[in-house]
Amino acid sequence: MTPTLTTITLADMAAIARGGAFLGTGGGGDPTIGRLMAEHALAAHGPVPVIDVDMLDDSALVVPVAMMGAPTVMLEKLPRGDEAQVALATLERVLGRKADAVLCIEAGGLNSTIPIAVAATCRLPLVDGDGMGRAFPELQMVSMTMADIHACPMAMADEKGNAVVLNAIDNLATEKLARAITVEMGGSALIALYPMRGSEAKRAVLRGSLSLIHRIGHLIAEERTGNRHPADRLEAELSGRRLFEGRVVDVERRTEGGFARGTAQLTGLNRDDGRCLTVRFQNEFLVAETADGTPVALTPDLICLLDLETAEPITTEQVRYGFRVIVFGLPCDPSWRSPRGLDLVGPGAFGYAHAYRPLGAPA
């Protein structure tokens, strides 16, 4: 299913942006902005080498770079363009050494493309992996936390030229303090954090994410070119499930505490005619429930909204009244189904009362 990606060029960006929007489960930020940033950097500096994490020297410095904040803010407050590089340079000064490679903190949306721009501009390789295998809304919700790797020191930068360095006591405290600073920075910031040695990255990083993103993006394009609906192959090759087909009849969305929170109400079409579904989100789609409150999919499994006709992924800030969609489910990385993983990103971590049940498991 997933040929290894070894180099990222301009020709790869459409597929990466589309595949990142799919694995982003509605979050990670608008992929178009990140794609444009990456394409500009690739055109100016050339292709980015992609490496397997096991190729790293154990003493190498690996740094994830990302956008933090509410995806809705990025639709109106565009980045200046160099904030992520400023954050990385700030962190390098604190650490007293240059990074040897950069990493996507999550496999989703803007945060699967911004690291490409940084890698191209700084002439660094990009690790084929990430810390989530999807997107989650909070900084501590990464595989690095499960591997006992500290998020700090962490650097943050905004479009005005401000840069901040955090040293918090743990990863949850890092999230809380950084979220407050992000709000003061106007709702979004570019960040560099979780600095790791190569030996730490080898035990913490979820492997192959970029290759998977690239393949998913190509798959969707190939099926559409052949006048076939991409959802059929996505279902077969990713062990996914079509959970619901319907029309969006209401969206309640608010930017609150540095997150985009809300619900989308759907009424069924085709085989789901007469049924209703509610999808709840906090930056990412987290819970899908029937009209009586029964969950059909729960975090940490992936809930993706696809356009019913084109299978283009739809993000939480894009979803609107009248959209005709497929609600698509995908199993998460197995590590998230462990007790520690569920403590970090299961339904209870977001305040939902549902007990986690793996996608497709009988009620």
CB under 8 Å to 313, separation ≥6 — which residues? 18, 21, 22, 24, 26, 304, 305, 306
> Computed from CA positions of residues 202, 332, 136, 362, in that sequence, does the dihedral angle turn out positive or negative?
negative
| Domain closes at, from 146, 174, 209 | 209
Do 277 and 190 lie in a common domain? no
**Is 183 among the domain residues?**
yes
pLDDT for the residue 1: 45
Do 184 and 255 lie in a common domain? no
CATH of the domain at 201: 3.40.1610.10
Do 55 and 118 lie in a common domain? yes
What pairs with residue 245 in β-bridges?
Answer: 326
- Domain that residue 242 falls in: 230-350
pLDDT digits (tens, 9 = 90+) for 189-248: 999 999 999 999 999 999 999 999 999 999 999 999 998 889 889 999 999 999 999 999
Alpha helices in the chain (DSSP H): 13-23, 31-45, 71-74, 83-95, 114-122, 143-146, 171-184, 198-204, 209-225, 230-237, 339-345
Q: Are strands 61-69 and 101-104 parallel, antiparallel or unpaired?
A: parallel
Q: Are 134 and 106 in contact (CB under 8 A)?
A: yes
Do 322 and 191 lie in a common domain? no
Cα dihedral 180→183→184→186 (10° resolution): 160
Do 19 and 160 lie in a common domain? yes
Residue from 139, 115, 123 nearest 209 by CA: 115
Do 70 and 174 lie in a common domain? yes
| Domain closes at, from 178, 209, 240 | 209
pLDDT digits (tens, 9 = 90+) for 119-149: 999 999 999 999 999 999 999 999 999 999 9
Domains of the chain: total: 2
Do 73 and 188 lie in a common domain? yes
Q: Are 264 and 278 in contact (CB under 8 A)?
A: yes
**Is 300 among the domain residues?**
yes
Quote the CA–CA distance of 120 and 133 in Å, as a whole number: 23
> Computed from CA positions of residues 19, 25, 26, 27, in that sequence, does the dihedral angle turn out positive or negative?
negative
Do 152 and 273 lie in a common domain? no
| Domain closes at, from 174, 209, 244 | 209
Do 234 and 346 lie in a common domain? yes
**Is 133 among the domain residues?**
yes
**Is 16 among the domain residues?**
yes
pLDDT for the residue 187: 87
Do 259 and 129 lie in a common domain? no
pLDDT for the residue 302: 97
pLDDT for the residue 75: 61
Q: How is residue 264 written in tokens? A: 């989308």
148-168 as b/e, with b when 16 or more CB fall inside 10 Å?
Answer: ebbbbbbbbbbbeeebbebeb
CATH of the domain at 253: 2.40.390.10
User: Could you count the other beta carbons within 10 Å of the beta carbon of residue 222?
Assistant: 13
Give the 3-state secondary structure of residue 333. Answer: coil
Q: Given pLDDT bands bounded at 50, 70 and 90, which one contains residue 73?
A: low
**Is 75 among the domain residues?**
yes
Do 196 and 242 lie in a common domain? no
Which long-range contacts does 261-268 make (Cβ < 8 Å, 24+ apart)? 262/316, 264/305, 264/319, 266/325, 266/327, 268/244
> Computed from CA positions of residues 47, 53, 59, 62, in that sequence, does the dihedral angle turn out positive or negative?
positive
**Is 339 among the domain residues?**
yes
* Mean per-residue pLDDT over the chain, rounded: 93
**Is 170 among the domain residues?**
yes
The single-letter code of the amino acid at 137 is P
pLDDT for the residue 3: 60
**Is 112 among the domain residues?**
yes
Give the 3-state secondary structure of residue 8. Answer: strand
Q: Given pLDDT bands bounded at 50, 70 and 90, which one contains residue 294?
A: very high
Q: How is residue 81 written in tokens? A: 């363009």
Q: Are strands 163-166 and 154-157 parallel, antiparallel or unpaired?
A: antiparallel
Report in angstroms the alpha-carbon separations of 294 from 66, 276, 359. Answer: 34, 11, 13
Tell me: pLDDT of 93 over 50: yes
Do 121 and 246 lie in a common domain? no
